Amino acid sequence: MTEKSPGGALRKRELSQEKMSEPLFHSCAPRLFYVRTFGCQMNEYDSLQVRRQLAALGYESVDDMARADVIFLNTCSVRDKAEQKVHSFLGSLRKLKEANPQLKIIAGGCVAQQLGKKLLARFAHLDMVVGTRAVNSIGQLLQQVEKSGGRAAFLHDAGITGTGSGCFEIAPQPGVTAPLTIMQGCNNHCAYCIVPAVRGAERSRRPEEILEEIELLEGSGVKEVLLLGQNVNSYGAGLGEKISFAGLLRRIVSESGLLRIRFTTSHPKDLTEELMLCFAELAPLCKHLHLPVQAGSDRVLSRMNRRYSAGQYLEKVRELRRICPEIALTSDVIVGFPGETEEDFRDTMELIEEVRFDNLFSFRYSDRPNTRATAFEDKVDEKISARRLAELQGRQAEIALGKNLAEAGSIREVLVEGPSKASNGQVSGRTSQNRIVNFEAPLSSTGKIVAVKITHAYLHSMVGEAIVG
């Protein structure tokens, strides 16, 4: 692991707890918090930080939000549907506040950053709005609001920057796999995307900080990390030390004992040969790449400001498969982007046929505030985009099922994550290619890699038998 001063991470954790542990309350009964997360894995990670900070302040997590003293809602505005869910959930909390006026309701995440004080104005029962960079200071900000008894919005332009660190040392991370944010923000400005507006410009965390967090996660039993960033391929820019994302991966492999490493998300234009080679050379790096293509038409890609052509994307896919033939590829597609013609959509379908993705996340385009595409006038009729989406998803389901069926009879290494969701005595884990496999094995195999022969395959999972001996 990284070289540290005597006491290293442990002392840092103690110092951090000293700083964080000014009591919020003095009653014997622990105060309870409830966290609800909408949206992406970055939000899941931020929610984890919130949980850790509140736990360090003596709060206990509760599943029943009606019992909570603090409710934290982590919001997502990437898609219109997710934002609508946030508004309706926030509205539904009014009755809880009326029943318990001491309840503190906090909105964090992208909708909070985007709407700021407007959210406070719209929901009178909301106590705090915390922007995307302020979430790392949630404990301190909650104390501030509890003391003042008022309501407040903490956003980027209010000077709250958040450290991106200093909170992760506090509580053990349960589970076999853990998310780990290595960078925030994005510099790409795709025409449909709200992320640069709400998460700001790219900021990478220092490698030492990432390695320390991995050491702590490993100490609490984590075997696999999922490195997160809006565009991990451009990790390191502006850090003041020369390190690429591939360089970071190599350091993590040589300085940690992790069984597996995954990452997401990658921008195709920044996928380098150096990174492709990591898949062939670094054993713990899972053979799975999520590489969002968004469309198969060059005209649409150009209007989206993606800065690659379909041909360039396909060329990278070919090169990657040459370097690492067993790699699984997944992607995102937006259907019905403004101006998308039937011919453009056919280009997307052709690309899907050519690549044969292992899995695809596809969505209908929706206007997002503060994005360029919102001003595009040639919107696609909703019925047409719904029909195109159904066609795309239908074909993709056939491809994905075919790929899973082809796995039958093969032997795969599965990292066991815990009991199967079906509660049938089986355990569940993932292959390096990110396929879910359920099979009979003792629960004590959790956290271990087990060789499994695949016996049955379905669209979203597979069943197998552990190879004994």
Question: Which residue has 């609508």 as its token pair?
Answer: 84
Quick one: 237 exposed, middle or buried, by C-beta within 10 A (0-12, 13-18, 19+)?
Answer: middle
The answer to whether 230 contacts ligand SF4 (rule: CB under 6 A) is yes
Q: Closer CB to ligand SF4, residue 190 or residue 226?
A: 190
Total residues binding ligand SF4 (CB under 6 A): 10
Residue 231 or 428 with smaller CB distance to ligand SF4: 231
**Least gap, CB of 295 to ligand SF4 (angstroms):** 12
Minimal distance, residue 246 CB to ligand SF4, in Å? 19
Q: How far is the CB of 181 from ligand SF4 (least distance, A)?
A: 14
By C-beta, is 16 or 231 nearer to ligand SF4? 231
Q: Which is nearer to ligand SF4, 89 or 363 (CB)?
A: 363
Q: Which residues between 47 and 106 bind ligand SF4 (CB under 6 A)? A: none
Under rule CB under 6 A, residue 334 binds ligand SF4? no
Q: Binding to ligand SF4 (CB under 6 A): which residues in 304-333? A: none
Q: Which CB sits closer to ligand SF4, 222 or 295?
A: 295
In the window 249-288, what residues touch ligand SF4 (CB under 6 A)? Answer: 267
Contacts to ligand SF4 from residues 109-128, by CB under 6 A: none
The residue among 137 and 234 lying less far from ligand SF4, judged by its C-beta, is 234
To ligand SF4, the closest distance from the beta carbon of 265 in angstroms equals: 7
Comparing CB distances to ligand SF4, the nearer of 29 and 375 is: 375
Q: How far is the CB of 195 from ligand SF4 (least distance, A)?
A: 4
In the complex, least distance from residue 160 CB atom to ligand SF4, rounded to whole angstroms:
22
Q: Phi/psi at 215 (nearest 5 deg)?
A: -60, -40
**Contacts with ligand SF4, 170-209, as mask; x by CB under 6 A:** ----------------x-xxx--x-xx-------------
228 binds ligand SF4 (CB under 6 A): no
Pick 173 or 231: Cβ nearer ligand SF4: 231
Enumerate binding residues for ligand SF4 (CB under 6 A). Answer: 186, 188-190, 193, 195-196, 230-231, 267
